[in-house]
Amino acid sequence: MNKLFGGLVGGGTACTVQLELRPGSSGAAAGRPATISLKNKRDETETMPLFSSKDTIAGEVKVTPIPGKRADHQGIRVQLLGEVELASERGYPHQFLSLVRDLAPPGELSTQATLPFEFGSVEMQYESFRGSQAQVRYLLRVTVAHGMGQSVVKDHPFWVRNWQAAPQVGPPIKMEVGIEDCLHIEFEYDRGAYHLGDTVLGRIHFLLVRIKLKHMELEVRRRETSGAGTAARSESETVAKYEIMDGAPVRGESIPIRLSLHPYDLSPSYGNVFNKFSVRYFLNLVLVDEEDRRYFKQQEVTLYRMSPEEEAAQPGGRLPRRMLSLPATPTSSTAKGEGSAAAAAALAAAGVGRIALGSNGAGGGGGGGAQQAAQAAPEGGHLLPGGGSEAAPAAAGGSGEAAVQAEEQQAGQQQAAPLAAEAPAEAPAASAAAASPLGDGSSA
């Protein structure tokens, strides 16, 4: 029996409220409720009970008056609350779930009262989540009512995780991107959806390299979007950073990607949480050249949580997928990847990819080129030149988020506006909306 102590002394009437949970269905086998250890923002570890949807949450509340004192109350009840709180509206959570059990009618307590409660098969649609923009939390609130605002309220948070069925894996993500006559790569991730303990496998083929690369890394970025329509706000953060290449490759080189997701603090992708926010994940491929310019390309992936049983039943056993890498056969376009303008045009015509020229030095021309290419192959992706500093990608990412809504107009804006990368220091949100030529293919 796990005990959660939460002592609180009310204003005049002093009593202590304790809440003990009985093991729910999830932890039943183990004979105790499952718990989870989390790190909060202050980097402290807290431990919380863990439930999932359709679990029965049962336990008992113990109310102990201060010895020798009588405590009268106007009723004791326990609530199960599910709330969405947005950073922008701190303190005003939106409740999407509220269940109440009255445990005792108004009366007096002279000794400890043990009051069992049970919420049977609670539908907890959303997973607990703590993000920078929004959080989803669940709690059990015990209220010993008193008049005059002197109620004793005690919150017992708990954590909810829901297993999901694996979504459609879909075809591998494959894309050719590049900067005209400078860099031309084709990258490939084996799937579009990964479970949280999964390994991202992939491969990058360098079809043309005319800039001196220093290294290449793969980032996992989380984008939380709150609000809707014009009021939508997005915030991105980089959850994982993983160097996948050191030094400058030559044409025809093929670099393997193998990124284990499980060491990182990830959540599944949430499409829509109570109409308040969404969480999406992106794999961001970043190439850094010798002058610290960053060229990047984001690609959305769906993350989902797989039930432990399923995970254990994955094929491969001792040699899981993380052992393997994608076969080194480049796609058909390698043959054409001669790097000439002709090849680029051919690619554009084939609709395989879109090539946007955009290095720091040639912003204006790059815009034009990008637009041209965009018209030829609107479905394709292009590689983004980014800023020189560490702060820049986040800024660019953030600005990109804002630009999602205006996807259609972007090509038009692009040719007028200087590229964000040109002045990475002044990249922040104000100028970024128009500046970044973020053409995230998958979001189109």
Partner 1 sequence: MEQLPEDQRAWLKDAQQAVKRHGFYLRKAIDDDNMKEALRYSAALLGELRTSLLSPQKYYELYMQACDELRNLEMFFRDEASKGRSHADLYDLVQHAGNIVPRLYLLCTAGACYIRGSEAPAKLILRDVAEMCKGVQHPTRGLFLRAYLVQCMRGLLPDTGSQFESEDGGNVVDALEFLLVNFTEMNRLWVRMQHQGSARDREKRERERQQLADLVGKNLTYLSQLDGLTFQLYRDVVLPRVLEQIVGCRDDIAQQYLMQCTIMVFPDEFHLGTLQQLLGALPALQPGVRVHSVLSLLMDRLANYAASEKSVVQEMSQVDAFGQMSSVALKVVEQHPEMPAADVAAMYSALLGFSGTVYPDKLEYVDLVLQTCYNALQRRGPISEPKAERQVVALLSAPLEKYDVVTVLGLSHYPSVMELLQPRMKREMAIKIVQTLLKSGTQVSGVDKVEMLFSFVAPLVRGMEGLEDLLDEEDVAEDSGLLARLVHNLRARDGDTDAQHAMLAAAQRHFLSGGPQRMRHTLPPLAFCALETVRRVAAAEQAGAAPQVGTAQWYAFLHQTVSELAGVPAAELALPLFLLCALSASEEAALEATAYEFFEQAFVLYEEAIPDSRQEVRALHSIMGTLNRCYIFSGEERAALAHKASSYCSKLLKRTDQCSAVLAAAHLHWQPAPPAAAAEGAAAAAAEERPPARDEQGVMACLKRALKLANAAQQQLAVAAKPRPRAASRAAAGGEAGGAVAGPPMLAPSPSSLFVEILNHYLYFFDHGCTLITPAVLQSLLELVANEMSAEACKEDQPLQAFYANTLQHIRQQKAKGGEAGARYEALMQAAALVQAAQLQRGASCRRQAAVQRPAARLIAAIPAALSRPAALAPRRRCRPACAASAAPSVDVESARKLLDGAVTVIDLRPTGWYEESRISKPPRKSVNVPFAAGGDTAGFVAEVARAAPSAAARLIVMCGDGGADSAAAADALVAAGYSSVQVMEGGFAAYSAVWGPSGKRRPPAGRWVSTGKEALKSGLNVPGAAESYTEGGDLKSARWAQGFSDGEGLKL
What span, in angstroms and rounded, lies between the C-alpha atoms of 280 and 440?
13
Exactly one of 97, 248, 345, 350 binds partner 1 (CB under 8 A); that residue is: 248
What span, in angstroms and rounded, lies between the C-alpha atoms of 48 and 170?
36
Nearer to partner 1, 283 or 344 (CB): 283
What span, in angstroms and rounded, lies between the C-alpha atoms of 164 and 142?
31
What span, in angstroms and rounded, lies between the C-alpha atoms of 76 and 152?
9
Residue 200-229 contact track with partner 1, rule CB under 8 A, x = bound: ---------------x--------------
Determine if 328 is a binding residue for partner 1 (CB under 8 A): yes
Choose the stretch contacting partner 1; rule: CB under 8 A; options: 26-34, 126-134, 253-261, 389-397.
253-261
Alpha helices in 92-191 (DSSP H): none
Determine if 253 is a binding residue for partner 1 (CB under 8 A): yes
**Which residues on adjacent β-strands are paired with residue 98?**
81
Q: In this structure, are residues 354 and 381 in contact, taking their beta carbons and an 8 Å threshold?
A: yes
Exactly one of 260, 307, 415, 442 binds partner 1 (CB under 8 A); that residue is: 260
Q: Where are the beta strands (DSSP E) in 227-363?
A: 233-246, 254-260, 270-273, 277-289, 294-304
Choose the stretch contacting partner 1; rule: CB under 8 A; options: 248-256, 279-287, 390-398, 423-431.
248-256
Determine if 246 is a binding residue for partner 1 (CB under 8 A): yes
Q: Which two tokens stand for residue 238?
A: 């980089």
The count of other CB atoms within 10 Å of the CB of residue 288 is 19
Nearer to partner 1, 94 or 215 (CB): 215
Exactly one of 241, 342, 407, 429 binds partner 1 (CB under 8 A); that residue is: 241
Exactly one of 35, 56, 64, 325 binds partner 1 (CB under 8 A); that residue is: 325
Minimum Å distance from CB 287 to partner 1? 12
Minimum Å distance from CB 186 to partner 1? 15
Q: Which two tokens stand for residue 372?
A: 């041209």
167 alpha-carbon distance from chain centroid? 17
Could you give the angle at the alpha carbon of 392 between the alpha carbons of 389 and 398, nearest 5°?
165
Minimum Å distance from CB 249 to partner 1? 4
Determine if 249 is a binding residue for partner 1 (CB under 8 A): yes
Nearer to partner 1, 127 or 188 (CB): 188
Choose the stretch contacting partner 1; rule: CB under 8 A; options: 109-117, 256-264, 329-337, 345-353.
256-264
Choose the stretch contacting partner 1; rule: CB under 8 A; options: 13-21, 24-32, 257-265, 436-444.
257-265
Size of the site for partner 1 (CB under 8 A): 26
Contacts of 138 (CB under 8 A, 6+ apart): 51, 80, 81, 82, 83, 97, 124, 128, 157, 158, 159, 160
Determine if 255 is a binding residue for partner 1 (CB under 8 A): yes
Determine if 242 is a binding residue for partner 1 (CB under 8 A): yes
Nearer to partner 1, 144 or 257 (CB): 257
Exactly one of 30, 148, 250, 416 binds partner 1 (CB under 8 A); that residue is: 250
Choose the stretch contacting partner 1; rule: CB under 8 A; options: 93-101, 314-322, 329-337, 340-348.
314-322
Residue keyed to tokens 């984001």: 298
Q: Which amino acid is at 121?
A: S
Nearer to partner 1, 54 or 214 (CB): 214
Residue 58-87 contact track with partner 1, rule CB under 8 A, x = bound: ------------------------------
Determine if 329 is a binding residue for partner 1 (CB under 8 A): no
Quick one: which of 415, 431, 136, 187 has its CA closest to 297? 187
31 alpha-carbon distance from chain centroid? 33
Could you give the angle at the alpha carbon of 85 between the alpha carbons of 82 and 160, nearest 5°?
40
Minimum Å distance from CB 240 to partner 1? 8
Q: Where are the beta strands (DSSP E) in 15-128?
A: 15-22, 35-39, 45-51, 57-65, 71-73, 76-86, 94-104, 107-109, 113-119
Site of interaction with partner 1 (CB under 8 A): 215, 241-250, 253-256, 258, 260, 263, 318-320, 322-325, 328
